[in-house]
Chains A and B, each alone.
Chain A
Amino acid sequence: MMTGLAIGLVLGVTVWWILIQRLKDKPWERQGLIEGSQDGLTSSAPKVGLWVFMAMVTSLFLIFNGAYLMRMGFGHGELLGWAPVDEPGILWLNTFVLVGASGTMQAAAGAARKGDLGALRTWFTAGGALSVVFLAGQLLAWQQLAATGQYGVGDPAFSFFILLTAVHGLHLLGGLVVLGRTAARVWRGLDTENIAAVGKVRQTVRLCTTYWHFLLLVWLGLFTQLSIT
């Protein structure tokens, strides 16, 4: 809860400061075309859209975080039936796999920037494959937990464990849909003369990379919280 509040506060102050810089204009005094202002639709719209989406997902996970802490009674949850989950060791392996996915995506973005189509194919596909491995690993972790026979649906810590990992996994799955479509286009071959098509692929790869880093951060936060509680 405190971490959530602190993150919220820092974000709030930052946004406020940016706003104050932008909002002190007196439009009734400034007349005419303002130079340097944008001119219709910009090419960075998808990037801004992604950042807005990630802000929303951050809000979703912070709220889940708050609900989690409140349900566990801020560490005094024995009376509320809170029995901590003993996380299976495979989660460490999954974490390394996701770090690897994030790294390969970064390499893919680098290859796209340099226009190296062969390297792009390799890294991008490797990123997707590692993500699938991560998801499979998460399913395995569920299975291992269920196999211990210690936990039932009525156990809040166990329910939260499944719910939070599922929500994170679904977000990764959504990313994989975009990745899959772009990877298919890259594999079909790209007309390097077509500047618009190349630009679009380059942008999508870059956005996928950002999103993968973001989901890695979310997972690290989630994993930390699940481990220490």
Chain B
Amino acid sequence: MAYVAIADRDHHLHDPDTFITKYIWSQDHKVIAIQYGVVAIGVGLVALALSLLMRLQIGFPDVFPFMTPYNYYQFVTTHGMIMVIYLLTALFLGGFGNYLIPLMCGARDMVFPYMNMLSFWVYLLSVIVLIASFFVPGGATGAGWTLYPPQAVLEGTPGSDWGIVLMLVSLAIFIVAFTMGGLNYVTTVLQARCRGMTLMRMPLSVWGIFVATILGLLAFPALFVAAIMMVLDRLIGTSFFMPALLSLGETTATTGGSPILFQHLFWFFGHPEVYIVALPAFGIVSDLLSTHARKNIFGYRMMIWAIVAIGALSFVVWAHHMYVSGMNPYFGFFFATTTLIIAVPTAIKVYNWVLTLWRGDIHFTLPMLWATGFIFTFIHGGLTGLFLGNVTVDLPLSDTYFVIGHFHMVMGVSPVMVLFGAIYHWFPKITGRMANDVLGKIHFWMTFLGTYAIYLPMHYLGILGMPRRYYDYGQTDFIPESALGVNQGITIAAIVVATAQLIFLVNVAYSLWKGKRADPNPWRATTLEWQTPDTPPKHGNWGPKLPEVHRWAYDYSVPGDEEDFIPQNHPIKPGEESLRNAGVSRE
């Protein structure tokens, strides 16, 4: 054979030869994925602990002397920021994006491995800067995760001296890290797919990660701009966002800055961010459902169009976070309309997941449990989103626990359901061992039921009018005694759910050490990552020759075939075409 594909020629370019280049300064996408995953989960545990501390205060006010209002606001802020950006974005894109894109597309690695490595180390730096903000004078910022000026930089807000600066700098560093990773993900999908892998044969996981990365590359600049301008406002006294105001009885030097401008910038990033987290989850859950229901995904093309449409629409809904900020009423009308429109492709996806399950050969494996759990929590959180998307309903519910219940359900619990499903699903490929089933099921049921015990009552509290972000509710007429009882219940449920996450950690540790050895393809899946010559895949992934793809990713239960799945790299068998058509006409 005279012609050798480029990927087959130069895969020895960055072969690791020492411990350091293999596990630390590694350019291998699989190692980088695990590094991203470990750091993201580690910092996520910090955020989980912070949420427990703030729940202790809300459930049992005045019982814990270490919970001062100052600490409370710092914990609220850091919890939110870590969960949305440093955990979810980093784990879905840096973790699963890194692991899955090259393996699912049939590539040896990302196209710019050195930049990929830098991406992780810069991400780690952003995490260190963020955590360091707890240890500077004044401590971490307590401005709320949206960091609205002017209060974020004014004296009196926790962390207004150095905490806010470190938070903004950390975000800017994170965006640099994301850019380096993101260029890799997009370019690898576009330029390094193996022979036969057309865009329309890619698994939906890759589609979700791909489109989410494009959203990130276009939306993160808004946060970057906002962060830089606020740092300048804070450090050298520019007035981009800072208006003329009285602070602690004194007039500030700033004039005419626009706090609303910051809100526009923040949410122009913030709303696409929701989908930067959600689209990879949508993609991955589609693959989990299809694989474990032994059925092709319902409406593959429609799923992709929906992902693309949601991605495009996500840039024109941002101001629905700002209905109470004061806008031209026609703007409210416009953004309410676009918000309702974006529900259409989202609903199409939900129907398609349910129809994939319909009459499928459902195996309630661990990944499948989490995937079905996701459908419940996502429908739940999605429907309350329709309430909040309407201006007139949003006004009374804004800044209440209803909002907390809504967004935790839709972009907290739901993506986390998918993350756990994905971890249990790919655990055998990543580690070569099966995760423990019993521990995993206990983990699932405690988490699934527990999160309902936490967030369902919050909707009720919100309709009562209970405001969010308050440290203490004191004596108020509209909040009955029973609401305080509900808050205690929520706190106890939160402690139970947090404990369940320890079971997950135990499971990972135990399974790594003593788990059952995994087959190369334990779930009998069709996608390429399960067809690697080694499990876990070695550097370069594919041995001497890249795979070739002959079919789409969803050939499950093909009529007439003796197996209930045909991997993507299996050539067409003689007579398969006619069997397939016979199957279609029988339906």
Residues of A within 8 A of B (CB): 12, 16, 19, 22-28, 31-34, 37-46, 48-49, 52-53, 55-56, 59-60, 63-64, 66-67, 70-71, 77, 79-82, 153-154, 156, 159-160, 163
Q: B244: which A residues are within 8 A, CB to CB?
A: 81
Q: How distant is the Cα of A148 from the Cα of B324 in the complex, in angstroms?
A: 43
Q: How distant is the Cα of A11 from the Cα of B184 in the complex, in angstroms?
A: 22
Q: B156: which A residues are within 8 A, CB to CB?
A: none
Q: How distant is the Cα of A63 from the Cα of B224 in the complex, in angstroms?
A: 10
On whether the beta carbons of A41 and B232 are closer than 8 Å, the reply is no
Distance of A161 from chain B, by nearest CB (Å): 11
| Interfacial residues of chain B within 162-215, with CB under 8 A of chain A in the complex | 179, 182-184, 186-187, 190-201
On whether the beta carbons of A67 and B265 are closer than 8 Å, the reply is yes
Knowing A40-B7, A63-B268, A154-B254 are in contact, say whether A27-B201 is a contact too (CB < 8 A): yes
- Between A and B, 7 residue pairs with Cβ closer than 8 Å are A23-B301, A39-B195, A53-B179, A67-B229, A81-B244, A156-B256, A163-B232
On whether the beta carbons of B225 and A12 are closer than 8 Å, the reply is no
Q: B237: which A residues are within 8 A, CB to CB?
A: 153-154
On whether the beta carbons of B222 and A26 are closer than 8 Å, the reply is no
Distance of A199 from chain B, by nearest CB (Å): 11
Q: A41: which B residues are within 8 A, CB to CB?
A: 5-7, 107-108, 111, 191-192
On whether the beta carbons of A49 and B200 are closer than 8 Å, the reply is no
Q: How distant is the Cα of A48 from the Cα of B188 in the complex, in angstroms?
A: 10
On whether the beta carbons of B256 and A53 are closer than 8 Å, the reply is no
Instruction: Find the B residue at minimum CB distance from A19.
Output: B308
| Interfacial residues of chain B within 201-245, with CB under 8 A of chain A in the complex | 201, 217-219, 221-222, 224-225, 228-229, 232, 236-240, 244
* B238 touches which of A19, A23, A42, A154 (Cβ 8 Å): A154
Knowing A43-B6, A67-B225, A71-B261 are in contact, say whether A56-B308 is a contact too (CB < 8 A): no
* A154 touches which of B184, B196, B255, B264 (Cβ 8 Å): B255
Knowing A55-B217, A60-B225 are in contact, say whether A37-B198 is a contact too (CB < 8 A): yes
What 0/1 readout, one digit per residue, does chain B (540-554) give for beta carbons within 8 Å of chain A? Answer: 000000101111101
B346 within 8 A of A: no
Which secondary structure dominates where chain A touches chain B? helix
Instruction: Find the B residue at minimum CB distance from A167.
Output: B228
Knowing A28-B296, A56-B179, A60-B221 are in contact, say whether A42-B548 is a contact too (CB < 8 A): no
On whether the beta carbons of B229 and A70 are closer than 8 Å, the reply is no
B331 within 8 A of A: no
Q: A156: which B residues are within 8 A, CB to CB?
A: 238-240, 256-257
Distance of B152 from chain A, by nearest CB (Å): 17
Residue with the greatest number of chain B CB neighbours at <10 A, chosen from A33, A41, A59: A41
Residues of B within 8 A of A (CB): 5-8, 106-108, 111-112, 179, 182-184, 186-187, 190-201, 217-219, 221-222, 224-225, 228-229, 232, 236-240, 244, 253-258, 261, 264-265, 268, 296, 300-301, 304-305, 308, 312, 546, 548-552, 554, 571-572, 576-577
Instruction: Find the B residue at minimum CB distance from A27.
Output: B552
Knowing A41-B5, A159-B232 are in contact, say whether A25-B200 is a contact too (CB < 8 A): yes
Q: How distant is the Cα of A24 from the Cα of B199 in the complex, in angstroms?
A: 11
On whether the beta carbons of A16 and B199 are closer than 8 Å, the reply is no
Q: How distant is the Cα of A156 from the Cα of B264 in the complex, in angstroms?
A: 18
On whether the beta carbons of B577 and A38 are closer than 8 Å, the reply is no
On whether the beta carbons of B221 and A56 are closer than 8 Å, the reply is yes
Q: B197: which A residues are within 8 A, CB to CB?
A: 37
Instruction: Find the B residue at minimum CB distance from A44.
Output: B191
- A sample of 8 more A-B contacts (CB under 8 A), given A77-B256, A80-B258, A163-B229, is A40-B194, A49-B184, A52-B187, A55-B218, A56-B217, A64-B225, A153-B236, A163-B228
A-B contact count (CB 8 A): 172
On whether the beta carbons of A45 and B111 are closer than 8 Å, the reply is yes
On whether the beta carbons of B305 and A40 are closer than 8 Å, the reply is no
Q: How distant is the Cα of A160 from the Cα of B225 in the complex, in angstroms?
A: 11
On whether the beta carbons of B554 and A52 are closer than 8 Å, the reply is no
Distance of B532 from chain A, by nearest CB (Å): 15
Distance of B135 from chain A, by nearest CB (Å): 29
Q: How distant is the Cα of A16 from the Cα of B257 in the complex, in angstroms?
A: 37
On whether the beta carbons of A71 and B258 are closer than 8 Å, the reply is yes
Distance of A210 from chain B, by nearest CB (Å): 15
Instruction: Find the A residue at minimum CB distance from B237.
Output: A153
On whether the beta carbons of A67 and B261 are closer than 8 Å, the reply is yes
On whether the beta carbons of B194 and A32 are closer than 8 Å, the reply is no
Instruction: Find the A residue at minimum CB distance from B268.
Output: A63
Residue with the greatest number of chain A CB neighbours at <10 A, chosen from B195, B256, B549, B550: B256
On whether the beta carbons of B264 and A39 are closer than 8 Å, the reply is no
Knowing A45-B187, A67-B229 are in contact, say whether A32-B256 is a contact too (CB < 8 A): no
Q: Which A-B residue pairs are the 5 nearest by beta carbons?
A: A40-B7, A81-B256, A80-B256, A27-B552, A60-B221
Q: B308: which A residues are within 8 A, CB to CB?
A: 19, 23
Distance of A175 from chain B, by nearest CB (Å): 15
Knowing A12-B312, A25-B200, A48-B190 are in contact, say whether A33-B195 is a contact too (CB < 8 A): yes
* A49 touches which of B106, B112, B552 (Cβ 8 Å): B112
Q: B261: which A residues are within 8 A, CB to CB?
A: 67, 70-71
Q: How distant is the Cα of A17 from the Cα of B563 in the complex, in angstroms?
A: 39
Distance of A75 from chain B, by nearest CB (Å): 14
Q: How distant is the Cα of A79 from the Cα of B310 in the complex, in angstroms?
A: 39
Distance of B171 from chain A, by nearest CB (Å): 15
Q: A25: which B residues are within 8 A, CB to CB?
A: 198-200, 301
Q: A43: which B residues are within 8 A, CB to CB?
A: 6
On whether the beta carbons of A81 and B551 are closer than 8 Å, the reply is no
* A48 touches which of B187, B217, B548 (Cβ 8 Å): B187
On whether the beta carbons of B187 and A33 are closer than 8 Å, the reply is no
Residue with the greatest number of chain B CB neighbours at <10 A, chosen from A16, A49, A53, A80: A49
Instruction: Find the A residue at minimum CB distance from B258.
Output: A71
Q: How distant is the Cα of A52 from the Cα of B239 in the complex, in angstroms?
A: 33
Q: How distant is the Cα of A40 from the Cα of B200 in the complex, in angstroms?
A: 16
On whether the beta carbons of A49 and B187 are closer than 8 Å, the reply is yes
* A40 touches which of B179, B221, B229, B546 (Cβ 8 Å): B546
Instruction: Find the A residue at minimum CB distance from B188.
Output: A45
Instruction: Find the B residue at minimum CB distance from A152.
Output: B237
Q: A19: which B residues are within 8 A, CB to CB?
A: 308
Q: A160: which B residues are within 8 A, CB to CB?
A: 240
Q: How distant is the Cα of A56 from the Cα of B179 in the complex, in angstroms?
A: 9
* A31 touches which of B6, B268, B546, B551 (Cβ 8 Å): B551
Instruction: Find the B residue at minimum CB distance from A25.
Output: B200
Instruction: Find the B residue at minimum CB distance from A37.
Output: B198
Distance of A86 from chain B, by nearest CB (Å): 19
* B183 touches which of A32, A52, A159 (Cβ 8 Å): A52
Distance of B523 from chain A, by nearest CB (Å): 21
Q: A81: which B residues are within 8 A, CB to CB?
A: 239, 244, 255-256
On whether the beta carbons of A38 and B193 are closer than 8 Å, the reply is yes
Q: How distant is the Cα of A37 from the Cα of B236 in the complex, in angstroms?
A: 54
Instruction: Find the A residue at minimum CB distance from B184.
Output: A49
Q: How distant is the Cα of A160 from the Cα of B240 in the complex, in angstroms?
A: 8
Q: A153: which B residues are within 8 A, CB to CB?
A: 236-238
Knowing A44-B191, A70-B261, A81-B255 are in contact, say whether A34-B305 is a contact too (CB < 8 A): no
Distance of A181 from chain B, by nearest CB (Å): 13
Q: How distant is the Cα of A49 from the Cα of B213 in the complex, in angstroms?
A: 13
Distance of A20 from chain B, by nearest CB (Å): 9
Distance of A136 from chain B, by nearest CB (Å): 23
Q: How distant is the Cα of A39 from the Cα of B305 in the complex, in angstroms?
A: 25
